[in-house]
Chain A
Amino acid sequence: MNISDEDFDKVISGKSGASGPEATEVARITRRLNSTYVSPMPPATEAKHLQAIRQANAGRSAAGSKPAGTSGPLSVLEPFKNLLAGMRPLGFLQLSGSTAVWAVVAALFLVSTTGGLAAAGVLPERMQSAVSSAARTVGIQVPGPAPAVPGIQVSEPAAPGQVKVTEGDPAAQQAALAAAEQAIAAAEQAQRAAQEAAATSARCMEESMAQVSALVEGILGATSPAQAQAMVAQAKTIGTNVKACSDQASAIGRNGVVFAAQAAELAQKASGANPAMTPEALASVQSAGQAARMAETSASQALNVSRSIVDNVSGLAASLVSSSIGLQQLPTAPAPAGPAPAASQPVPPVGSVASPPVWANWGADYSNQIMRSFQGGAGRRR
């Protein structure tokens, strides 16, 4: 077989332009090989493998490589920039020329990147700062001499989560200490809830971005209308999953606010027990409350972003169906065999379709022939 390197590359990479009987034959052998050996990973196997990969990745992070998620908002955007830059109208979508599809794909990316910002850096960072501040103050670390007032005096920095009582009326000391410790515990719960909400929304967005990215890749490289339609169905599932995940983040964020309110109440109690503690304790729980509210804001944003993704994914599905691709007119199952392309015609690139009827006919022809060979082969072979 005498095929140029250029034509061979075109055939195997799915680019059009290769022609001639040799290229046709290479394309068909390549298709045969791929249909024989390459198939999607079974979901259970994929889940098992991805679990093992994540564990190895976590082990790598723990062993001193870059920890996961250190990339910051800019590098979260990077994959999408690259993906957008690398987008090429391949295969199935090449036929459409539909600006509507591209618009929806672009909108999908915009939404994803906005979500990435919210999840992977900006808000959590601000929130983290507030949480850190709260943690510092909730620990009642008040350096230097405390005001000389009756009751509790904090004379030196205390470890986080501890209140140092040095002098004053023993009963007042006891009551204030109990109230202050409760306030600290509640504020710490608010802090944990805030961090958890941030982590959940970040994970949520990271997973949804991965899914959306893979999905758009898949849609761009779809080799048949049926495959593209299956991916559209997958898009809807992804949208639902993202929403569920973001709802969870939002709920955790709201818990943070509840804990913060408890902290504020307990701080009031502490201040009632000892007015001298009021400014510090109140400032602490206010910070914790602010952190928790930020957590809720972040979680709410994640929720809104997820809703936008759901809307846009649905829009993508609708656009694919109603655009000039004319999905609804195309057969989803191989059509009856028809005239096949002549050898001199351009070779349909592997991984794409030259036109739906060619694809459909080829599939039907192939399976019919295999079936006939199977049914009649044993008797005819000598």
Chain B
Amino acid sequence: MIDGQGLDGAVVAAKDGADWGWTTLYRALAPTITGYLKAQGARDPEDVTAEVFIQAVKGIDRFSGDGAQFKSWIFCIAHNKLVDDVRRRRRRPEDLSPDAGRNLVHPSNVEDQVMRNLSDGRIREMFSRLTVDQRNVLYLRMIGGLTLEEVARVLGKPSSAVKALQRRGLGAIKRELPVQGYQFEPSGRLPAMGEMT
């Protein structure tokens, strides 16, 4: 997980207009940003990630800070894009065209995709029991790797509120674990389906 350290130089270069700075930042941060957007259910997370970076390029002159601050800034852009995406989807009906689900399953790797969907479905279900705010906090913390303060800045909430949301979110997940069949035993072994009660 990228923690922003080591990105300082790339941020300086990006601010200076050097392509390699942006390339480095993209390679370091795009996977986690896409992961965050995917987890949040963005319709086309990869395209949104590209939009996030393009917006960052356009706004880099207004940004000042180091690699860690850049990371929290770009997650802020990503989160805002996500909110826009959700609003857009509420206004417009779902795309029912034949192309709408073309990326869901690649015909050459159906088994892997089924496995992934199964796993995705369970973890998504576990987090779907949380409130939106709790989910935002935990995803930004656990996928984005942001600190409490950085999450507070992204969400525009006080740190104390973020801390409370995190605690309640984790508590809810802990309660959810046995129901979902994901209770991690002290040994670290995952129980098989037959062992579940």
Contact = CB atoms under 8 A, between A and B. Distances in A.
B147 to A, nearest CB: 6
B108 to A, nearest CB: 14
Contacts of A41: 27, 30-31, 34, 46, 49
Interface on chain A toward B: helix, strand, loop, or mixed SS?
helix
A221 B18 contact: no
A297 B50 CA distance: 40
A53 B145 contact: no
Interface in B14-38: 15-24, 26-28, 30-32, 34-36, 38
A380 B31 contact: no
Given A14-B3, A61-B17, A66-B17, A342 B187 contact: yes
Contact of B17 (A38, A67, A78, A213): A67
Interface in A356-382: 362, 365-366, 369-374, 376-377, 380-381
B96 interface: no
Nearest to A210: B20
Contact of B28 (A32, A70, A214): A214
B82 to A, nearest CB: 13
A71 B16 contact: yes
Given A26-B142, A68-B16, 20 more contacts: A12-B145, A33-B39, A34-B143, A37-B39, A37-B143, A57-B17, A65-B61, A66-B16, A68-B18, A78-B12, A79-B13, A83-B6, A87-B6, A209-B20, A210-B20, A214-B23, A369-B190, A370-B119, A372-B192, A374-B115
A37 B36 contact: yes
Interface of A: 1-3, 5, 8-9, 12-14, 21, 24-26, 28-30, 32-34, 36-41, 45-46, 48-50, 52-54, 56-57, 60-61, 65-71, 75, 78-83, 86-88, 206-207, 209-210, 213-214, 217, 220-221, 337, 339-343, 350-351, 362, 365-366, 369-374, 376-377, 380-381
A41 B33 CA distance: 11
Contact of B184 (A25, A374, A377): A25
A81 to B, nearest CB: 7
B22 A53 contact: yes
A350 B67 CA distance: 20
Interface in B128-142: 139, 141-142
Contacts of B31: 38-41
Interface of B: 1-3, 5-6, 8-10, 12-13, 15-24, 26-28, 30-32, 34-36, 38-39, 46, 49-50, 53-54, 57-58, 60-61, 67, 114-116, 118-120, 123, 139, 141-143, 145, 147-148, 163, 166-167, 170-171, 173-174, 177, 181-182, 184, 186-194
Contacts of A39: 31, 35
B17 A68 contact: yes
B1 A49 contact: no
A351 B1 contact: yes
Nearest to A65: B61
Given A46-B30, A50-B23, A369-B190, A29 B142 contact: yes
A365 B114 CA distance: 19
B53 A53 contact: yes
B58 A56 contact: yes
17 contacts: A13-B1, A21-B186, A24-B188, A34-B35, A38-B32, A38-B34, A39-B35, A49-B50, A53-B50, A70-B16, A71-B16, A79-B10, A210-B24, A217-B24, A351-B1, A373-B118, A380-B194
Nearest to A15: B3
A86 B16 contact: no
B192 A13 contact: no
